[in-house]
Structure 1
Amino acid sequence: MSPLEQTSGTLLNIVTVLVGSSLGLALRGRLPERIVRTVMQAIGLTTLFIGVDNAFDLGGVARPPGIILALMALALGGALGEWWRLGERLEGLGELLKRRFRGQGRFTEGFVAASLLFCVGPLTLIGSVQNGLVGDASFLVLKSTLDGFASLALAATFGFGVVFSVVVIALYQGGLSLAAGLFANLIPDPATDPRVLLVNGVGGLMIIGLGLGLLEIKRVQVASLLPALVLVVGLYYAGLLFY
């Protein structure tokens, strides 16, 4: 497959986010606050559902127990993320872009929220892997649709910073698809591979944290938990030594 075929879902995702963000910016200030708030709550509830649904993937890994591996990965990953100040670095990137492009208002908050929402989810992982392995972009088509609506609401709320999340989508999601093509022989069936299930499950728990933030229930430092996505795979291999 060509690189264009491997990243077709990512390209569609970029387009939907740009279109949604543009509509959101055009409507910003023209929609009553109660409508924007209700739409954001709807997105928050949907985000929670997606997170819970995918967190159950941890139950598909019995040896070693997926939930134990997820707990260890999130605890260790969170500690590493705070030590490396990942949240602050991501916010710093947003501030840099804000100064470079003279963003106004809640630019950084919008950039961070959109980047995490669009890139941390399990749909990003399994969709990118499937797109890169066999050219199947169906999961990313679904994700693109969700992201398009979400970007409209986010841009109407936070402003121009949401647009720049497409840079993160292109680098992270596109990179995953291209990498999957290189390591196709290592993941013969992404839908049932325990490593993918673990990453999906941990990603689902992180998405729950993001949903809680969107609903203004509790702000979870999701960015600091990002190392857990890598650590859970390493812990899986280590756990196999004892089973």
Structure 2
Amino acid sequence: MLIGPFVNGSAVVIGGAIGAFLGTRLPERLRTALPQTFGLASMGLGVVLIVKVKFLPAVILALILGAVLGELCCLEAAIGRVGAGARNIVDKFFPPREGLSQEEFVLKFVAILVMFCASGTGIFGAMHEGMTGDASILYVKTILDLFTAAIFATSLGYSVATIAIPQLVIQVGLALGAAMILPLTTPDMMNDFSSVGGMIMLATGLRICGIKVFPVANMLPALFLVMPFSHYWSILF
């Protein structure tokens, strides 16, 4: 029985609700400084994952072609529209958060959506539980997500809690499919998969810290390309 995805999703809902309720009641220095810390943590995790790379050309090729596909499909724009729609629905039931433009909201919402739903920890944790029944990795992510959702919800409002829905769908899907996917993979393929995830996490951290606004959502197709690219690179080269 899967437990981790539901516990993780509950933490996002609870953290988002608490953060949105507290809002400006939290000291400004916390609301400003902690997202920078989360961005730094995302970059640090990204670096740890990137160094696992086995076939760097395959990883770079997957990242470039994945970004091309994302751009052609306007993936980030679509996610942004979903986020804006979620905000409009939530604002009908809860007081809207003032002082944040629609453009600023979309930029931040997409960044944290990727951080919650496409992190290496969440992806690997869901697959690990699906294979072994051990949800410990997702429990660690749950603790981090609880505080992360609370802090970002102080500025983005209750819309942060809605991220639990796509996160739950992704994690449950990965866990259920893990038994079929993992036996077909090799350690090298998994390492290259982690490396692409690390690059996306690094870009996410840079975006959260306001250093560089990478189109992180448009990079997500690379996660689906890297394993076959890694496999065939090992055969051909």
Query: TM above 0.5, one fold?
Result: yes
**2:33 corresponds to which residue?**
38
**1:222 corresponds to which residue?**
216
Matched, 1:47 2:42: yes
Matched, 1:131 2:126: no
The Cα shift of 1:98 comes to 2.5
RMSD: 1.8
Q: Contact conserved, 2:189 with 2:231, CA < 8 A, in 1?
A: no
Aligned AA (1:129) = M
Q: Contact conserved, 1:110 with 1:160, CA < 8 A, in 2?
A: no
Aligned AA (1:35) = L
Q: Contact conserved, 1:77 with 1:225, CA < 8 A, in 2?
A: yes
Report Cα offsets for 1:129-177 as digits up to 9, x if no partner.
1100110111111111111111111111211221100011111111111
Partner SS for 1:101: helix
Give TM-score scaled by structure 1 length: 0.87
1: distance between equivalents of 2:163 and 2:135? 20
**1:85 corresponds to which residue?**
74
Stretches of 4+ aligned residues off by more than 6 angstroms: none
Aligned pairs, number: 228
Aligned AA (1:213) = R
Partner SS for 1:159: helix
Partner SS for 1:241: helix
Aligned AA (2:8) = N
The Cα shift of 1:86 comes to 0.3
Q: Contact conserved, 1:86 with 1:223, CA < 8 A, in 2?
A: yes
The Cα shift of 1:204 comes to 0.6
2: distance between equivalents of 1:183 and 1:50? 24
Aligned AA (1:133) = M
Gaps of 5+ in 1: none
**2:229 corresponds to which residue?**
235
Matched, 1:100 2:94: no
Aligned AA (1:217) = I
Give TM-score scaled by structure 2 length: 0.89
The Cα shift of 1:240 comes to 2.8
- Percent identity, aligned pairs only, is 29
